[in-house]
Structure formats: C-alpha cells, structure tokens
Amino acid sequence: MQKINSIEELKQLASNKTVEGFILLNYNLKSSKSISYDVEKKLFHVFNYIDDTENDLTEEELKTESNIAEAIEKGAFFIDE
C-alpha cells in the first residue's frame, strides 16, 4: 500500500496502465477505485467499485467532480502495490 501525495504522483503511477486504489474513510472503511491516466488525452479513467460507475476526468474535473483530490490532500488516498 502506497500513500499518494499529489495528483502528479498519481499520474506517474497510472500513466497508460490501470492501478487499484482506495480512499480511506472513517472507521477504516474504504472506497475502492480502479484508475488509469491516458497521457495523450490527458484524462483520468476512474471506475468506482462502490456503485459500478465510470468517469473520464481531466485533472481539473478530478479536483472538482470527484473526491480523489481532496483525499490526496488529506493523506487518505492509497494505491495497492
């Protein structure tokens, strides 16, 4: 398990491949996600296991339309190694 410290770090780890990650919630609950980053299109592809939804997000949308950026800022986003 690796804590992600920035969106740039997430980009590097998920560039043109899929990584499994999660947001650590209260009471040690997790919100699991599958994430990849398309370098050419500059898009994150996020699959949310909790409700089977998928989103393609720019970096700005990752900050405003998902809770991933906030979790990174709070030290609560991790990638399974």
Domain of 50? 2-74
In this structure, are strands 77-79 and 43-48 parallel, antiparallel, or unpaired?
unpaired
Please state whether beta strands 53-57 and 30-38 pair in parallel, antiparallel, or not at all (unpaired): unpaired
Residue 80 lies in a domain: no
Per-residue pLDDT tens digits for 10-51: 999 999 899 999 999 988 899 999 999 999 999 999 999 999
> What pTM, to 2 d.p., does this model score?
0.91
φ/ψ of 61, rounded to 5, equals -65, -35
Inside any domain, residue 18: yes
Q: Domains in the chain: how many in total?
A: 1
pLDDT tens sequence across 50-71: 999 999 999 999 999 999 999 9
| Cβ neighbour number for residue 25 with a 10 Å cutoff | 12
* Closest listed residue to residue 11, CA positions, set 79, 66, 71, 67: 79
